[in-house]
């Protein structure tokens, strides 16, 4: 198994998603580690599932 493209990294205030291919942050700051979002991004990358997970994590921030 190769390196994962997207990984969660702890930053002050929560977690951010790091894109190893483009070497930059992806998405927002998350207070909880977005494990299921990372699994989907590194797996099948289904647009509808990724969108639903992003909405869920944004709602958790409020």
Q: What is the pLDDT of residue 62?
A: 63
Residue 3: pLDDT band (50, 70, 90) is confident
Q: What is the pLDDT of residue 1?
A: 57
pTM equals: 0.86
pLDDT of residue 2 exceeding 80, the answer is no
Residues paired with 8 in a beta bridge: 17
What three-state secondary structure class fits 15? strand
Mean pLDDT confidence for 25-38 = 93
Structure tokens at 15: 């977690």
Q: Which residues contact 8 (CB under 8 A, 6 or more apart)?
A: 15, 16, 17, 18, 30, 33, 34, 35, 38
Mark out the alpha helices in 1-62 (DSSP H runs): 35-42, 47-61
């Amino acid at each position: 198994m190769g390196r994962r493209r997207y990984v969660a990294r702890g930053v002050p205030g929560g977690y951010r998603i790091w894109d190893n291919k483009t070497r930059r942050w992806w998405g927002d700051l998350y207070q909880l580690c977005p494990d299921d979002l990372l699994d989907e991004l590194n797996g099948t990358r289904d647009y509808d599932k990724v969108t639903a997970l992003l909405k869920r994590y944004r709602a958790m921030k409020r």
